[in-house]
A and B are shown apart, each in its own frame.
Chain A
Amino acid sequence: MLKINNLHVAIGDTEIIKGLDLEVGSGELHAIMGPNGSGKSTLGYALAGREGYEITAGSIEFEGQDLTELEPEERAAAGLFLAFQYPVEIPGVNNAYFLRSALNAQRKARGEEEIDSITFLKTVRESLNSLKMDEALLKRAVNEGFSGGEKKRNEIVQMAVLQPKLAVLDETDSGLDIDALKLVAEGINAQRNAQRSFVVITHYQRLLDYLAPDHVHVLSDGRIVESGGQELSERLEAEGYSFLEAESEA
């Protein structure tokens, strides 16, 4: 599904990602943890194609395609989804209208027919209800005035509607209350299948307890410095990142 090879990403003159390798297979869920400022969001933005995030070396392959050649919207149509750590407020743009336009733009790019409004509304409502979100949010402007937790849940609603092949979720669990965290985790698990993959960026074990990731990676200073299974995240929860220094000194 996703093959990242020796990736280097610079913002301006500053190199942030410094030789990162990651391979995500179909149906797999990978967790990425790591200290603040280590480059987790930068990786997400680079995958989504944000301007100013320059790939100075290495490659990103998505389903056999060179992802770096594609515009952000082409990546979306190809099946990539990024849930933002800080979802953006879009004043004046109706949430339902936006989501439907986005879905139809993707479908059009893939040569599929537009979705009719009844099917669309049904899908959105189901996903809102499963996340215990008020349907009134559909009529509001995208993320405008949403609480922190509502914004995060709204990202999951978008994911459920857009049905990506690979979802990169950047700290979607931060800022959620305990019940909402469970709902979001269930929302993610409900979307899991053999064809869909996830990269879940998080600081907390709690989400991973629900998701039971196939692989856990530690990103530090722009590189993946440790990979393992669930036991790695449990160790981080217990010890923090201090062992990174111990190991690098060793």
Chain B
Amino acid sequence: MSAILNKLAPESELADDRYGDIRRRAHQRLMQYGFPDLKTEAWKYTSLRVLEKRELSATGPSEAGQPATLPFEADVIPMANGLIDPDRLNLPAGVRLEPMAPADLINLDYGDRAGAMAWLNLARFEQAWRLVIDATLERPLVLAMTSSSDFAASVHPRLQIELAAGVEAVLIEQQADRGAGLINIVEDIALARGSKLRHVIQRRNADSIWVQRTRVTVSADADYRCHALDLGGRLVRQDLSVHLLEAGANGEIDGVAFIDSKQHVDWHTAIDHEVGHTNSRESFRIMADGTGVGVFNGRIHIQRGADDSHSDLNTANLLLSESARINIKPELEIYAEEVTASHGATIGQLEDSALFYLRTRGLPVDQAMALLKYGFAAAPLENAEPEALRDWLTAELETVL
């Protein structure tokens, strides 16, 4: 795999900017640990070898496609081909975007080779943004991540998003990658005391290899809710970890992935109850059709002393074809007392009896199947609020059924 490393991170190409020391350190780690392979537990079902075969150009084209317009009012931050142009922004009151200070990046640790893509990001990021939300937002804030169809470069966006105490916001990551590059995102989201974030990840990619690592920290009485609708791409790997740091912190993940032929989507989620009196809930559903491959790994970790914590993890999965594959693994690690932790996991197929029932009422096969798939997948999206957001997500889901 060292061939990939030399291709993705040639030392000669490390930028010598004000982050130079940080980059060199990250690069060293990357070389030291190497790249994950199928023997690396966290990458057991997802191979990055496809990167070996890809010709990734050094720079992208200048113009990226426009994101699809949303059916509600929103403030949009365009991130085209992985880059944000600060001069073209029109940010709402209470929101500011600034480059991250080197000091914020100095002590990062992504562990061994399982974290190689994050080390790679730290070595090679083009921009590192700090997005601060200081006031409750009236409209959703949208990070519109698009690329043009001729985009074939590698980019390593880095974001740190901070919600001030008591602030409420809806943040939508609208990801529509049209190209065939490598997008390797590292994102940290911090919720200060009493803040509330609804974090939407809506993804619909083409041929890109999309690796995203999202780490969320939740302070006292803060409330993090993720609503994910992943309509896939050639290869998607999403790591989402939610760390409940103080009493009263709440973390919830509702996710749906629809994976079609020639798509591979891997979600690794982790909810970490670091202290007691914290709650979490997760519901994740995957449907895989054609030759699609889905992976879901859901880890719940209730640390020693995190007593009186509650967590519920549920994943239901649907195989829509003979050649589709879904690998799921719920992991519960509980070291505390007085906790409730429940989990359920199923993989099934569409019920013949249900399909027949709908057809006897007059619904043609396609329509009956779409209705059954919708009935299966829509449940996690029901929790999205406000209603306009929920309607948009369910409408997006319906376009692929």
- Seen from chain A, the residues whose Cβ lies within 8 Å of a Cβ on chain B are 48-51, 71-73, 75-77, 81-82, 84, 87-93, 98-99, 101-103, 105-106, 109, 141, 158, 162
Residue of B nearest to A44 (CB): B360
Query: How would residues 361 to 376 of chain B score, 1 for a CB under 8 Å from any chain A CB and 0 otherwise?
Result: 1111101100110111
Which residues in B have their C-beta under 8 angstroms from that of A89? Answer: 354
Residue picked from B352, B357, B362, B377, most chain A C-beta under 10 Å: B362
Which residues in B have their C-beta under 8 angstroms from that of A158? Answer: 361
Contact A92 B362 (CB under 8 A): no
The tally of residues in B whose CB lies under 8 Å from a CB in A reads 24
Which residues in A have their C-beta under 8 angstroms from that of B378? Answer: 92
Docked Cα-Cα span, A149 to B374, in Å, equals 27
Question: 27 A-B residue contacts at CB 8 Å?
Answer: A48-B360, A49-B359, A49-B360, A71-B364, A72-B356, A72-B360, A73-B359, A73-B360, A73-B362, A73-B365, A76-B359, A88-B351, A88-B354, A88-B356, A90-B375, A91-B376, A92-B375, A92-B378, A92-B379, A98-B371, A101-B363, A102-B358, A102-B363, A103-B362, A105-B364, A105-B367, A162-B362
Residue of B nearest to A164 (CB): B362
Which residues in B have their C-beta under 8 angstroms from that of A81? Answer: 360
Contact B363 A90 (CB under 8 A): no
Interface residue from B352, B360, B371 paired with A76 (Cβ < 8 Å):
B360
Contact B359 A92 (CB under 8 A): no
Contact B357 A90 (CB under 8 A): yes
- For the complex formed, measure the closest distance between the CB of A150 and the CB atoms of chain B, giving whole angstroms: 16
Which residues in A have their C-beta under 8 angstroms from that of B376? Answer: 91-92
Which residues in A have their C-beta under 8 angstroms from that of B365? Answer: 71, 73
B107 within 8 A of A: no
Interface residue from B352, B354, B361 paired with A162 (Cβ < 8 Å):
B361
B62 within 8 A of A: no
- For the complex formed, measure the closest distance between the CB of B310 and the CB atoms of chain A, giving whole angstroms: 24
- For the complex formed, measure the closest distance between the CB of A60 and the CB atoms of chain B, giving whole angstroms: 15
- For the complex formed, measure the closest distance between the CB of B342 and the CB atoms of chain A, giving whole angstroms: 19
Contact B359 A71 (CB under 8 A): yes
B399 within 8 A of A: no
Contact A93 B362 (CB under 8 A): no
Which residues in B have their C-beta under 8 angstroms from that of A76? Answer: 359-362
Docked Cα-Cα span, A103 to B361, in Å, equals 8
Docked Cα-Cα span, A141 to B375, in Å, equals 9
B346 within 8 A of A: no
Contact A101 B352 (CB under 8 A): no
Query: How would residues 332 to 363 of chain B score, 1 for a CB under 8 Å from any chain A CB and 0 otherwise?
Result: 00000000000000000001111011111111
Residue picked from A48, A51, A72, A106, most chain B C-beta under 10 Å: A72
Which residues in B have their C-beta under 8 angstroms from that of A102? Answer: 358, 361-363
Which residues in A have their C-beta under 8 angstroms from that of B353? Answer: 88
Docked Cα-Cα span, A76 to B379, in Å, equals 29
Using known A-B contacts A71-B359, A102-B358, determine if residue A93 contacts B375 with beta carbons closer than 8 Å. yes
Residue of B nearest to A161 (CB): B361
Using known A-B contacts A92-B375, A101-B367, A101-B371, determine if residue A77 contacts B356 with beta carbons closer than 8 Å. no
Which residues in B have their C-beta under 8 angstroms from that of A84? Answer: 357
Docked Cα-Cα span, A208 to B351, in Å, equals 34
Docked Cα-Cα span, A89 to B372, in Å, equals 11
Interface residue from A72, A90, A98 paired with B359 (Cβ < 8 Å):
A72
Docked Cα-Cα span, A216 to B349, in Å, equals 41
Docked Cα-Cα span, A101 to B366, in Å, equals 13
Residue picked from B352, B359, B374, B379, most chain A C-beta under 10 Å: B359
Which residues of B in the span 232-262 have a Cβ within 8 Å of any Cβ on A? none
Q: Which 9 residue pairs spanning A and B have beta carbons closest together?
A: A92-B375, A106-B362, A102-B361, A76-B362, A93-B375, A72-B359, A88-B357, A105-B362, A102-B362
Docked Cα-Cα span, A71 to B375, in Å, equals 23
Residue of A nearest to B361 (CB): A102
Question: Other CB < 8 Å A-B pairs besides A84-B357, A92-B378, A101-B367, 17 of them?
Answer: A48-B360, A49-B359, A50-B356, A71-B364, A73-B365, A76-B359, A76-B362, A88-B354, A90-B371, A92-B375, A93-B371, A93-B374, A99-B361, A101-B363, A102-B361, A141-B375, A162-B362
Which residues in A have their C-beta under 8 angstroms from that of B354? Answer: 88-90
- For the complex formed, measure the closest distance between the CB of A197 and the CB atoms of chain B, giving whole angstroms: 17
Which residues in A have their C-beta under 8 angstroms from that of B357? Answer: 84, 87-88, 90
- For the complex formed, measure the closest distance between the CB of B113 and the CB atoms of chain A, giving whole angstroms: 40
Contact B361 A90 (CB under 8 A): no
Residue of B nearest to A91 (CB): B375
Docked Cα-Cα span, A49 to B371, in Å, equals 20
